[in-house]
């Protein structure tokens, strides 16, 4: 199968491509990425030589870029998105452009190229904040709270419309909080790990008791592959690990494993409109596709910390933006 992975230089996208190249090498992979601040080809540098892998620098908002690579593609897996809530609060426009308009461009190009399957990656954040004991299932109403979540919810509606109106074979996933190797250090876990390693303060929003379900990225990628290969057309699949933790629990676990003091924790003003809890019900994918997470939070957080300890150069280069200078020289302003 020839698979076009958009946003494949980002955190989850690069881990997904890594899974395909290492575990399912029968597929041909095209990594399509704009290489914005969070896209890093170093994530896949050790596999870039493989004959079934290629990279194309392009923008999903530019039909000409998509058209240039889509010929002969059997499936599209769309990770490409602006994804940080804080950035969406400062300016929602890039999120509307990439997450909504860009998704529609991909859908149009997929239909014209007769792509057999379109897998769209969404988020549990489309369900908004939930009370303890409540869970987002595939038929729940959507109540997105942040501009980021609103853009992802809007994209879901366009994907649904492409199937209902044009008969495009689409499948959608909603995943809880991912963590693991290659995550850009603006996100909670890598930021806390990086700061703790340098004995810097760890900024915690509000009281730190916001609850999320945490899934190790390799488990999520295995679930996504099952959806790609076996998911029923037109369906949504929630992906969760039933590992709810509040942010303070997660941070204190990191400090304990790194032998750092809790005194590094600094409580700061809460994010505007900060959702208190996300909860996702993964029963459907468990029953229909036979997927279960293999890695517990305790094991996953240890693996994650070990990876950052063993890849300090990657972390330093990513935080400083050094890799972007190389990409600019290599690819110029294309895309």
Reported as type and span, the H/E element at residue 67 is helix 63-70
DSSP letter assigned to residue 99: I
The one catalytic residue among 33, 59, 82, 124: 124
Which residues contact residue 58 at a Cβ distance below 8 angstroms, ignoring those fewer than 6 apart?
A: 32, 33, 34, 65, 66, 68, 69, 334, 335
Locate tokens 């009370």: which residue? Answer: 131
Which residues contact residue 2 at a Cβ distance below 8 angstroms, ignoring those fewer than 6 apart?
A: 27, 28, 30, 72, 73, 74, 75
Residue 148 appears among annotated catalytic residues: yes
Residue 182 appears among annotated catalytic residues: no
Closest C-alpha among 219, 192, 224, 215 to residue 205? 192
**Helix-helix angle 322-331:312-320, to 10 degrees:** 70
Q: Give the sheet arrangement for strand 2-6, strand by strand.
A: 53-57, 28-33, 2-6, 75-78, 117-123, 170-175, 236-239
The one catalytic residue among 42, 53, 82, 148: 148
Concatenated DSSP letters for 300-332? HHHHHHHHHHHTHHHHHHHHHTHHHHHHHHHHT
Residue 125 appears among annotated catalytic residues: yes
The one catalytic residue among 59, 125, 156, 286: 125
CA distances from 260 to 110, 122, 185 (A): 50, 35, 19
The catalytic residues are 124-125, 148
């Amino acid at each position: 199968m020839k698979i076009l992975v958009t946003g494949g230089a980002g955190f989850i996208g690069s881990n997904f491509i890594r899974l395909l190249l290492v575990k399912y090498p029968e597929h041909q992979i095209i990594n399509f990425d704009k290489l914005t601040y969070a896209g890093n080809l170093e994530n896949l540098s050790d596999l870039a030589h493989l004959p079934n892998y290629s990279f194309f620098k392009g923008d999903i908002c530019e039909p000409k870029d998509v058209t240039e690579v889509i010929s002969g593609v059997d499936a599209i897996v769309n990770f490409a998105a602006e994804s940080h809530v804080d950035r969406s609060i400062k300016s929602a426009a890039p999120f509307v452009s990439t997450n909504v308009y860009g998704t529609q461009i991909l859908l149009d190009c997929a239909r014209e190229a007769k792509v057999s399957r379109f897998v769209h990656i969404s988020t549990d954040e489309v369900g908004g904040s939930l009370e303890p004991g409540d869970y987002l299932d595939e038929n729940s109403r959507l109540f997105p709270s942040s501009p980021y979540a609103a853009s992802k919810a809007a994209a879901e509606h366009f994907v649904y419309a492409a199937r209902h109106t044009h008969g495009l074979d689409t499948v959608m996933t909603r995943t809880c909080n991912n963590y693991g190797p290659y995550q850009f250090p603006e996100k909670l876990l890598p930021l806390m790990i990086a700061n703790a390693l340098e004995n810097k303060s760890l900024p915690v929003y509000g009281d730190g008791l916001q609850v999320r379900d945490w899934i190790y990225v390799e488990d999520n990628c295995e679930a996504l592959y099952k959806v790609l290969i076996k998911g029923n057309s037109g369906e949504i699949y929630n992906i969760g690990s039933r590992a709810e933790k509040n942010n303070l629990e997660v941070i204190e676990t990191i400090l304990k494993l790194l032998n750092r003091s809790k005194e590094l924790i600094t409580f700061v003003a809460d994010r505007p409109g900060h959702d208190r809890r996300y909860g996702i019900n993964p029963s459907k994918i468990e029953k229909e596709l036979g997927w279960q997470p293999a890695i517990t939070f305790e094991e996953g957080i240890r693996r994650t910390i070990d990876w950052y300890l063993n890849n300090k150069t990657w972390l330093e280069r990513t935080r400083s933006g050094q890799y972007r200078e190389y990409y600019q020289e290599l690819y110029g302003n294309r895309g």
